[in-house]
Amino acid sequence: MSRMTDVSGFLEPLLGKALPWLYVDSTWWTAFGLLGNALFSSRFVIQWLYSEKKKMLVVPPVFWHLSFWGSAISLVYALHIDKLPIILSFAFLPFLYFRNLILLKRGAPAPAG
Query: What are the backbone angles phi and psi of residue 8, rounded to the nearest 5°?
Result: -75, 155
Give the pLDDT of residue 107: 83
What is the chain's pLDDT, residue by residue, as a tens digit (113 residues)?
A: 444 455 668 888 888 889 889 988 899 999 999 999 999 999 999 999 999 999 999 999 999 999 999 999 999 999 999 999 999 999 999 999 999 999 999 986 655 55
Q: Which residues, including other chains, have CB under 8 Å from residue 57's CB and lie 6 or more apart? A: 51
Tell me the H-state helices in 16-60.
27-54
CB hemisphere CA count around 44 (13 angstroms) = 4
Q: What's the pTM?
A: 0.82
Rounded to whole angstroms, how far apart are CA atoms 71 and 99? 13
Give the pLDDT of residue 34: 96
